[in-house]
Chain A
């Protein structure tokens, strides 16, 4: 798939989205910036880590929210001072970031190392197990959190009290999200990224060529854990509070919904899905017959997307483009949901 034209629909949309995102605080309410858009950015970062693993590593991981939560809980334990549950170490917020992300990446290495010989639905099941265990761990171990969670987690001074300066956290999250996107786009073009895609497409052949397949999977998982941990740090700053319900099965599935609705095979889908999710979450209550049944609505949308357009909203967009241009994409245009163990259907 070689793009020859400089101006493609994709690029026009990308530039427009960037301009809109940067200028958003000028014309939308501070509620929109502080609640919806900031939330969209950090949920998108977490979803991007899932999409990266799925699109380039062939692994659909449900453990991303637990890594995100581990970073958040460590940050909460490290930086709070006195009046809440947890260890209350009272460190500077900057040290909290370093330690939080480091421990989260360490756990991701462990998780990835244990699951690196599994693929497809086995990987999905194992990572779901991690996710539920992490939730139960933080719910039960009162030394580090307990049921009520950790409150009053401060953001660094430069970002300031988040409620008073909604724009600051928004722009920080925007810059971080762009950096994450650029980093992932770069990574998949490096030798490591290309090898990872080889592992995704044919692990047996890559192994016989002499590549260490489990090690590549583990490193990819740890890297995705790093991205998810960044999302977790932003979430904790935004929310000021984290409790086990932030990473329970519902949250795990919400992140999966974001990634699948956005599109499991293109990184942009992460933020598209996240924007869709937060808007539905915020406004569905006003629709009379839906009311508090937000999850029924999002479940139904998820079901329709999985059945009709496995590429998600981004996949729909690509299909529309294809319809108008009449050109067909190359063989790279594939559908990750239908991957997994190739098995003849009977």
Chain B
């Protein structure tokens, strides 16, 4: 053992790079950035063909501005929903260093609670579920609030019962939330079944809106999602920047021990942050369940979106979550729409490339700071 310690492994000393090597590396980095960012942009704007081996569905933006604009709107509205879900995740993580692996399951729980309440309120519906024509605004808003509230309460119970007593052991807390997500996901499978269902939008939203640009007529529901997301973003921003609780939370993100030493009840702040963060997952589940559908396995996708958004944006940063959500929304929608039609299913690779690129350049995310 002693001799082994004296001749350490084959991979050892790292020599300092010379100035020339640094320059070469920097140029290589910019070239890579150009390949990853500029070439896709050029492809979408000018070169995407509509015929031949690499035919895309729409062709380039110059060729077909209408579908380009629709894809932009799709990206932004998807980003809105990603932001609602991921901002809760990043809020909890930033303050408490808790990676809430149950976030995806909370999303699903919020959706299912709202779904059941809506069915009960309207009364039945066919085997295909409710039609939007049967649903008025109250039939959507009340279930949405109920789903959000129940998830917020579940989050609070989880935080108070198990997470509070393991504070500071972040890996153990992550494992605890995984255990809870296993149990909750299995119970939801038992109670709500394995068939994909969706929440009906109220009839007021289930229309089309004329955007008045290039003759685009767009679904109102997606614009509603975007509106809710922007509203929530503004509320969170005002809450964090302008109120006392928000100030305590921002201080706690930077230095919990100091905040606690100043006589502030940090446990109360933790509880508030956990309630708000879980509520956002629940609300996201209601919106996501109206926009797409609810089924076992959907929770994994939304956990992935939350992880990707906070890994890109930087953990614990609200602005980072917004930027991360936009990048994810644009990457996933544009790669699905502008890859050659025979290859659109490769779009998932672009999500990976996005994560990989950000990690390679900034391991803590675009807006991340060291803990």
Which residues in B have their C-beta under 8 angstroms from that of A117?
Answer: 363
Q: Which stretch of B52-60, B106-114, B273-281, B346-354 is in the interface?
A: B346-354
Q: Which stretch of A8-16, A162-170, A209-217 is in the interface?
A: A209-217
Interface status of A306 (Cβ within 8 A of chain B): yes
Interface status of A302 (Cβ within 8 A of chain B): yes
Smallest Cβ distance from B366 to chain A, in angstroms? Answer: 15
Tell me the A141-194 residues at the B interface (CB within 8 Å): 141-142, 189-192, 194
How many chain A residues sit at the interface, stated as a range, is 35 or more
Interface status of B134 (Cβ within 8 A of chain A): no
Interface status of B190 (Cβ within 8 A of chain A): yes
Interface status of B7 (Cβ within 8 A of chain A): yes
**Among B10, B301, B352, which residue has the most Cβ atoms of chain A within 10 A?**
B352
Which residues in A have their C-beta under 8 angstroms from that of B347?
Answer: 140
Interface status of B170 (Cβ within 8 A of chain A): yes
B172 close to A337 (CB less than 8 A) = yes
A337 close to B175 (CB less than 8 A) = yes
Interface status of B38 (Cβ within 8 A of chain A): no
Given the known interface contacts A126-B359, A340-B169, A346-B266, the answer about A306 and B179 at a Cβ–Cβ threshold of 8 Å is: yes
Bound form: Cα–Cα A64–B7 in Å: 31
Pick the residue among A118, A216, A253 that contacts B182 (CB under 8 A).
A253
A302 close to B260 (CB less than 8 A) = no
Bound form: Cα–Cα A212–B8 in Å: 11
Pick the residue among A121, A299, A337 that contacts B179 (CB under 8 A).
A299
Pick the residue among B11, B181, B260 that contacts A219 (CB under 8 A).
B11
A142 close to B345 (CB less than 8 A) = yes
Given the known interface contacts A191-B4, A346-B256, A346-B260, the answer about A293 and B174 at a Cβ–Cβ threshold of 8 Å is: no
Bound form: Cα–Cα A140–B351 in Å: 13
Pick the residue among B172, B179, B256 that contacts A310 (CB under 8 A).
B172
Bound form: Cα–Cα A84–B347 in Å: 24
Among residues of B, the one whose C-beta sits closest to the C-beta of A344 is B257
Among residues of B, the one whose C-beta sits closest to the C-beta of A135 is B300
**Among A121, A141, A194, A256, which residue has the most Cβ atoms of chain B within 10 A?**
A121
Interface status of B124 (Cβ within 8 A of chain A): no
Q: Which stretch of B137-145, B203-211, B228-236, B307-315 is in the interface?
A: B307-315
Tell me the A277-319 residues at the B interface (CB within 8 Å): 292-296, 298-300, 302-303, 306-307, 310
Pick the residue among A191, A295, A303, A346 that contacts B7 (CB under 8 A).
A191
**Among B178, B180, B260, B315, which residue has the most Cβ atoms of chain A within 10 A?**
B178
Smallest Cβ distance from B175 to chain A, in angstroms? Answer: 5
B348 close to A120 (CB less than 8 A) = no
Bound form: Cα–Cα A142–B7 in Å: 50
B371 close to A341 (CB less than 8 A) = yes
B311 close to A125 (CB less than 8 A) = yes
Given the known interface contacts A137-B348, A210-B13, A299-B182, the answer about A125 and B307 at a Cβ–Cβ threshold of 8 Å is: yes
Bound form: Cα–Cα A256–B346 in Å: 28
Which residues in B have their C-beta under 8 angstroms from that of A219?
Answer: 11
B interface residues, how many (CB within 8 angstroms): 63
Which residues in A have their C-beta under 8 angstroms from that of B176?
Answer: 303, 306-307
- Secondary structure dominating the interface of B: helix
Interface status of A195 (Cβ within 8 A of chain B): yes
Given the known interface contacts A191-B7, A337-B169, A337-B175, the answer about A300 and B345 at a Cβ–Cβ threshold of 8 Å is: no
Which residues in B have their C-beta under 8 angstroms from that of A122?
Answer: 315
Which residues in A have their C-beta under 8 angstroms from that of B359?
Answer: 114-115, 118, 126
Tell me the B89-118 residues at the A interface (CB within 8 Å): 97, 99, 101
Interface status of A17 (Cβ within 8 A of chain B): no
Among residues of B, the one whose C-beta sits closest to the C-beta of A136 is B348
B355 close to A343 (CB less than 8 A) = no
Given the known interface contacts A117-B363, A210-B13, the answer about A260 and B175 at a Cβ–Cβ threshold of 8 Å is: yes
Interface status of B121 (Cβ within 8 A of chain A): no
A137 close to B349 (CB less than 8 A) = yes
Tell me the B209-253 residues at the A interface (CB within 8 Å): none
Which residues in B have their C-beta under 8 angstroms from that of A215?
Answer: 11, 14
A-B contact pairs, 7 of them (CB 8 A): A124-B174, A132-B303, A191-B4, A191-B5, A210-B12, A293-B187, A339-B171
Q: Which residues of B contact A (CB under 8 A)?
A: 1, 4-5, 7-14, 97, 99, 101, 162, 166-172, 174-176, 178-183, 185-187, 190, 256-257, 260, 266, 297, 299-301, 303-304, 307-308, 310-311, 315, 345-349, 351-352, 355-356, 359-360, 363, 371
Q: Which residues of A contact B (CB under 8 A)?
A: 60, 110, 114-115, 117-118, 120-122, 124-126, 128-130, 132-133, 135-137, 140-142, 189-192, 194-195, 210-212, 215-216, 219, 248-249, 253, 256-257, 260, 292-296, 298-300, 302-303, 306-307, 310, 336-341, 343-346
Nearest 9 Cβ contacts at the A-B interface: A345-B168, A299-B182, A295-B186, A303-B179, A249-B300, A299-B183, A192-B9, A132-B304, A191-B9
